Amino acid sequence: MKITKPIVIVGTGRCGSTVFHRLLALHSQVMWLSPLSELYPDKPAYNRWAVSAMGNPLLRRMLGNKIRPSESYKFWDRYAYGFSEPCRDLVRTDVTARVKQQVRAAIAPMLTSRRNRLLVKITAWPRIGFLNEIFEDARFVHIKRDGRAVASSLLHVHFWRGWYGPQGWRSGMLSPEDQATWESYDRSFVALAGIEWQIQMRAMEAARRAVDPARFLEVKYESYCEHPMETYRQVLDFAELPVTPAFERQIRAASIRDMSQRWRDDLTPAQQALLDDLLHDDLIRYGYGGSEATRLQAAAGR
């Protein structure tokens, strides 16, 4: 099958993209990467059969917890070397002719006449320029979330590598400016998690400037939680996919937990104030405002 208008979900880690991806994958026209694409990257038919089987309600009830949408970084690394953990964002000029051919050749056999639209999710570095070079007509959906919530979530997952410092995490070495900022907060890990969000959002802004605006859609996580059906209708219209009654029923039946304010419970007042201060300008730019009181409190406490 010819790969046409693939849909690529991007976002910083801990941005809420996982549940968004899993529910969008319920659409009957999309083909996604399952764990089988990681276990058997050289056998695309296995992924095709697995995803197609999930269209059967009985099989989905039986196997749905094992066969579900994945970021499948081992699959990507098999064909696009270094894709999973680059030290910087991957851009157009990083794509070799061989890599482009390999990736397309591995994905095309997964598609079927019914499931003819590829859906993938990538987090952390956006890799938009890289993927846009491989799939020239791709549609990119950016899931954006409050940086304070992202930072808090990073601090509460076992796989965050910020504990090793910038020399051991996945976001590259800090620029002199970011290093100075981190030092000014006494090398706080809370601050480092916030800086990681800033780094990835800067990369997202740079990447989106190189893409036709008509092929880039931004979805605010908080708005998605509040109005999921309206959000999916907007995304389907953007992706040129039909809104089907079956898809709408599944979205309405889904349980979508709004975790947008959990960071306020998980962080101390001083840690909240630190993030308000550190991320103040970015929060305003991305539509999240900021607490002036806590910003001043944090500044006074440094």
Dump pLDDT digits (tens) for 201-238.
Answer: 999 999 999 999 999 999 999 999 999 999 999 999 99
List the one residue out of 107, 90, 101, 34 whose CA is nearest residue 64.
34
What percent of the chain is predicted at pLDDT more than 70?
A: 96
Output the average pLDDT for the chain: 94
The pLDDT value recorded for residue 290 is: 57
Q: Please say if the pLDDT value at position 298 is more than 50.
A: no
What is the strand order of the sheet 139-144 is part of? 30-32, 117-123, 7-11, 139-144, 216-220
Band of residue 294 on the pLDDT scale cut at 50, 70, 90 = very low
Q: Please say if the pLDDT value at position 110 is more than 50.
A: yes
Higher pLDDT, 1 or 22: 22
* Ramachandran bin of 10, using left for φ above 0, alpha for ψ from -120 to 50, beta for the remaining angles: beta
3-state helix, strand, coil in the chain (%, to 5): 55, 10, 35
Q: Please say if the pLDDT value at position 32 is more than 90.
A: yes
Buried b (16+ CB within 10 A) or exposed e, 233-267: ebbbebbebeeeeebeeebeeeeeeebbeebeeeb
Q: Please say if the pLDDT value at position 40 is more than 80.
A: yes
Q: Please say if the pLDDT value at position 299 is more than 50.
A: no
pTM above 0.85, yes or no: yes
Q: Please say if the pLDDT value at position 64 is more than 50.
A: yes
Buried b (16+ CB within 10 A) or exposed e, 177-194: ebeebbeebeebbbbbbb
Q: Please say if the pLDDT value at position 23 is more than 70.
A: yes
The pLDDT value recorded for residue 293 is: 43
User: Going from the N-terminus, what domains does the chain have, and what CATH number goes with each?
Assistant: 7-149+208-261 (3.40.50.300)
Name the token pair of 261. Answer: 């304010």
Band of residue 119 on the pLDDT scale cut at 50, 70, 90 = very high
The pLDDT value recorded for residue 291 is: 55
The pLDDT value recorded for residue 289 is: 81
The pLDDT value recorded for residue 297 is: 44
- In tens, the pLDDT along 143-191 reads 999 999 999 999 999 999 999 999 999 999 999 999 999 999 999 999 9
- In tens, the pLDDT along 243-274 reads 999 999 999 999 998 998 999 999 999 999 99
